[in-house]
Amino acid sequence: MRLTPTKSAAPAALLILLLARWSDGISLSPEEANQFLSRQRRANQVFEETKQGHLERECVEERCTKEEAREVFENDPETDYFYPKYVACVDKFGDSEKKKQDLVTCVHNIPDQCSPSPCNDRGTVRCEDKKGDFLCHCFTGWTGARCDKDVDECSKRNGGCDHECNNTIGSYRCSCHQGYMLVGRQMCNDVDECEDTSVCGTARCENNDGSYDCLCDTGFVYDNETKTCVDVDECVSGVCAEECLNTPGSFRCFCDGRQGKKLGQDLRSCKPITPCLSPSLKRNSRSLYLGRMFSAVPVVRLRFRRRIQTGFSAEFDFRTWDPEGVIFFAGGHLNSSWIVLAMHHGRLELQLKYGTVSRVTSSGPIVSDGQWRKISVEEQGRSLVIKIDREAVMKIAVNGDLFTLKKGMHELNLTVGGVPFREDGLINQVNPRLDGCMKEWRWLTGEDTSIQETIRSNDNMQCFGTENPGAYFPGTGFALFNISCESQNLSVQLNLRPTSAIGVLFALVYQDRVPLSIALADYHPGTDEWRDFVLVSTGDAIIASSPAPLCDGESHEIQVVISGNQTMLLVDGQPGRSEDAEVPTALLTQSSTFIGGLPDDVSLVSSLVSAPYSGCMEVSVNGQSLDLDQAIHKHNDIRSHSCPLLDSHQ
């Protein structure tokens, strides 16, 4: 700023004189001089009142230098900021009087560093003018000198969000995992999906933290498409050692009892069936068992040839409980002379044919009582004499010879335990099968040693040393009957002495189904109990049961009565427990009756028990006693009327 002479010459002269006068007497140190020369900024300066006035005088009314502008602002930052812009204003508006006001406006706006605002509009609350600087006040979520940088709120404590923090420009947003909903801005609460009753369909819904499960009962799996519980076929994975039956929600394992195996306690494996009692199976090697072949073919065939004709004689010790069957045949062939000694209604019966004469005679005491008796048949002249314990019970006149002359030799055929022709060739029809025992035999006053050798080498031809009445089931095979049931009512009575706690006693079989089974078992699948039971079942469903420890060597009685849909079980007179399952009574009249076991073509899963019965047993159906000799089929090892003594198993 330039000074004019008229206004400032006198004060300047006076100042020079005073300085000259005092200069000799005043001496300042360097620090004091520096302090004196330093410019101190005035406190609490107000731009609006002070600086703007100086600015008008110094730089608007006249053009100012940078030093003169420094005197206005009294600091370098504002001066450095102002002066280049001031020069630009003068260059633009200072040449013409008519642009004077534009120059004033341009110059006045230069000191405000917030005009125009250098701050980011989106992120700035306001711009604060500073001396040679500016301060941008940022909205929350923005930072930087110009509020142009986004703050990543998620980088610190996840933005306070419970789950996910999503940074946005100038802000952030909390979100929740699936199964949760946002409460407020940051909190995530679990959604109870089970409030929607259709979410799991027919399955059971269980809400979890952030999710839910559709639950099914054990043995079922949830199908997401149908929203239903679908049965799991566990059998596909081979859970059973042998046969497996898939059931709704579960499975059941079966072991082949016909191979001597039963289910283990893990309900999956198989283990051997062990007897609880041992029958006395000691045999007499000098005895002959007559009932070895169910086919009724003779167990012994002999042919005698004599040069000189002799009379026929036979003597032997005999024991049986069987009331009917052939003891022996002697003679030529069907159309020649022959005799048959048989049992009929418990007594000895003699059938004879001499030429065209046929005759049947029966007399004497009951001999089917299991007692040993000595029987003899002898030709005496023209008579046949039959003796029991050396007392004659029959004497029959005959006219002819049992021997047949053939090529100069007199021949006679003898068969034991059967006849050499079809049974319908007998004069009086009897069932030729005979469960009896013979020893000390003498045919034609002599003994054929070849018979003894054959018997000694074959146990099945020998009799048990001690026996009791009743059918004997050794644990192999079965007996088959066709019993016609004209109604849907059925009564079965069983008298038994078992040697094993597992086995089929009685079964009705229709094709590959088992509509009814009465069996001994050591496990009850309905109650999951391991102990001895009598089970009455249809298929694999139990319809009646009773705990029954029957392996004690004593005789026990089991009675099952089916009347309509009702099933009654009695074990030694004590009622068992009846279940809700019904017997398919319509099949009873169409089924075959099996005693002591099941056929091989019935699958294991068709019945709870498949093991053959082992022990002694007598069976009655609808009040009629079953004679195993009358069966359609019987395993050769099953004895119809004799059972060995039972001893406790050690």
What band does 452 get if pLDDT is binned at 50, 70 and 90?
Answer: confident
Q: Are residues 532 and 427 in the same domain?
A: no
- Mean pLDDT value across residues 580-586: 75
| Burial category of 495 from C-beta neighbours within 10 Å (exposed 0-12, middle 13-18, buried 19 and up) | middle
Q: What is the pLDDT of residues 519-578, one digit of tens each?
A: 999 999 989 999 999 999 998 899 999 999 999 889 999 999 988 788 999 999 999 999
Q: Which of 434, 536, 526, 435 is nearest to 494 (CA)?
A: 536
- Boundaries of domain holding 575: 471-648
Residue-level pLDDT at 97: 65
Same domain, 389 and 479: no
In a domain, 232, yes or no: no
Q: Which of 505, 494, 428, 495 is nearest to 468 (CA)?
A: 495
How many other CB atoms are found less than 10 A from the CB of residue 48? Answer: 8
**Same domain? 317 vs 364:** yes
At residue 448 the predicted structure's pLDDT band, cuts being 50, 70 and 90, is: low
212 assigned to some structural domain = no
- For the cut 50, the answer to whether the pLDDT of residue 649 exceeds it is no
- Residue 454 is assigned to a structural domain of this protein: yes
Residue 417 resides in a domain = yes
| Number of independent structural domains in the chain | 2
Domain closes at, from 412, 438, 465? 465
509 within some domain: yes
Q: In sequence order, what are the residues at sequence separation of 6 or more whose Cβ sits closer than 8 angstroms to the Cβ of residue 199?
A: 193, 205, 212, 214
What is the structure's pLDDT at 447? 58
* Cα gap 485→516, rounded to integer Å: 13
- Residue 355 and residue 309 share a domain: yes
Mean of pLDDT over the chain? 85
Identify the pLDDT of residue 134: 84
Structure tokens at 183: 């409460």
Q: How far apart are CA 296 and CA 257, in angstroms?
A: 29
Q: Is residue 415 in some structural domain?
A: yes
> Are 347 and 457 members of one domain?
yes
Taking alpha carbons only, the member of 573, 414, 552 closest to residue 493 is 573
Q: Can you point out the beta strands (E) in 436-540? A: 436-443, 463-464, 467-469, 471-474, 479-481, 489-498, 503-510, 513-521, 533-538
458 & 493 share domain: no
Residue that is last in its domain, among 441, 465, 489: 465
Residues facing 215 on adjacent strands: 204
Q: Is the domain of 451 the same as that of 554?
A: no
Domain end residue (candidates: 465, 494, 521): 465
Question: What's the pLDDT at 55?
Answer: 76
Task: Please report which confidence band the pLDDT of residue 29 belongs to, taking 50, 70 and 90 as the band edges.
Answer: low
CATH (domain of 630): 2.60.120.200
Q: Looking at the structure, do residues 505 and 622 belong to the same domain, yes or no?
A: yes
pLDDT tens readout for residues 484-513: 766 678 899 999 999 999 999 999 999 889
Same domain, 456 and 317: yes
* 200-236: pLDDT as tens digits: 999 999 999 989 999 999 999 999 999 999 999 999 9
Are 597 and 498 found together in one domain?
yes
Same domain, 442 and 591: no
Q: Is 17 a residue whose pLDDT tops 60? A: no
- The three state secondary structure string of 332-373 is CCCCCCEEEEEEECCEEEEEEEECCEEEEEEECCCCCCCCCE
SS3 21: helix
Per the model's pLDDT, the better-predicted residue between 102 and 214 turns out to be 214
Contact 533, 518 (CB under 8 A): no
In terms of domains, do 308 and 441 share one? yes
Q: Is residue 243 part of a domain?
A: no
Distance of CA 153 to the CA centre of its chain: 54
8 is a domain residue: no
Which residues, 6+ apart, have CB-to-CB distance to 489 below 8 Å? Answer: 561, 562, 563, 564
| CA dist list (Å): 155 to 138, 152, 436, 472 | 19, 6, 102, 90
Nearby residues of 518 by Cβ (< 8 Å), 6 or more positions away: 492, 494, 504, 505, 506, 507, 534, 535, 536, 558, 560
